[in-house]
Amino acid sequence: MTKEKEKSPSQSSSKGAQEQTVGPLTQLLIKSRQRIVDPRAFTRGAYARDATGNPVNVLDPGAVCWCAVGTLECEAKRSTPSWEPMPGKPPKSNNLYHAAHDLLEQAAAQLLKTVHTHATEEQKKRYSITALADGAGHARAIAMYNKAIGLAKGK
């Protein structure tokens, strides 16, 4: 699991003592969550949709809503550094997108296990972002992002 060290307010010089500086992984998750915080900007069953409900590319200028993974992909692609290799990481999770995706998977599994305590071990292995966000909807997608942000901060 990737964790970032947060700077204490006394270490943060540019924004004052009230605001903490967060690392790039946490920033990516926060920006991704912000994109879908309004329920009208959230969708299921496609990474992104236009105003008429048709599936579109996450970076399409006409996109008006994104799924939980689509918003992450959109933000990661818009912030070039997140697609650059992370030193010392295996190739599969070689960038911030994959690190953030891994945290969302962990968060989804934790949230679904608390909701579905009757699930078999095999079912628990299949818990995922899609099962949570597409199955349970917007509120659970936001809860998943909140949990992933907490994991990124090491909480």
Question: What does the pLDDT look like over 60-79, one tens digit per residue?
Answer: 999 999 999 999 999 988 88
Q: How far apart, in whole angstroms, are the C-alpha atoms of residue 138 and residue 2?
A: 25
pLDDT score recorded for residue 6? 42
When divided into structural domains, the chain yields a total of: 1
Structural domain boundaries, residue 104: 24-36+69-152
pLDDT higher at 28 or 95:
28
Token couple for 145: 């992002």
| 88 falls within a domain | yes
| 101 falls within a domain | yes
| 10 falls within a domain | no
4 to each of 65, 91, 99, how far by Cα in Å? 29, 19, 11
- Residue 1: pLDDT band (50, 70, 90) is very low
